[in-house]
Amino acid sequence: MSKPRRVGNETSATRARLLDATEQVMLAEGYAAVTSRRVAKETGVTPALVHYYFSTIDDLFLAVIRRRGEQSAKRQERALSGPQPFHALWELSKERAGTGLLMEFVALANHRKVIAAEIAEQAADSRKAQLDTLGDLIERTDLGPDDLSPEAILVLIASVSRTIALEESLGMDVGLAQTTAFIEGLLTRIDGTDER
């Protein structure tokens, strides 16, 4: 029986640098440019050290996704605990900082089932947390039974914000201001006047 392979500490500074470098390469050149050699070069270590921390490149990608997921969960929790949680969630969803990386991971997920499964699991956990916090709030609004369900509103926020970020990154602007105004009007009906 062989000994289990030793893996680097999850809280080490070197591991964090490897994750940072992976994100930078993905943003600059796309997920296909991420190799153990490239990440090693960007961080000034050997490819063997990359494999000490991550057995495979998929393990490296999963670590980046999980780290980003933890960061997003904390930010979402703060947003949902404020006085206008729907507006805060909308603002958080509109941030373009993570959009490029998300698009790279979505493209990668088309080719790697393990990546797709991780993204889907994190998205489902995020949506459940949103519903747990916001479902009752929607039910106490002036929305009628024929209006959108809490689930539909959350999907609308996520999908519209991503579409706007994507189209803005391509230089498109037709209809974006009107769509933003529509969403913000809907959110004001749900969680009150926007006092930002």
100 and 154 housed in the same domain: yes
Is 157 contained in some domain? yes
Neighbouring residues of 167: CB distance < 8 A, sequence distance ≥ 6: 173, 176
27 and 80 housed in the same domain: no
pLDDT digits 0-9 by tens, 38-83:
999 999 999 999 999 999 999 999 999 999 999 999 999 999 888 8
pLDDT digits 0-9 by tens, 148-181:
777 888 899 999 988 888 888 889 999 999 999 9
Neighbouring residues of 190: CB distance < 8 A, sequence distance ≥ 6: 86, 137, 138, 141, 143, 153
Is 60 contained in some domain? no
Domain containing 46: what range? 1-55
Is 196 contained in some domain? no
26 and 118 housed in the same domain: no
CATH assignment of the domain containing 30? 1.10.10.60
43 and 110 housed in the same domain: no
100 and 123 housed in the same domain: yes
CA distances from residue 53 to 6, 99, 136 in whole angstroms, order as listed: 9, 26, 43
70 and 46 housed in the same domain: no
**Domain count of the fold of the chain:** 2
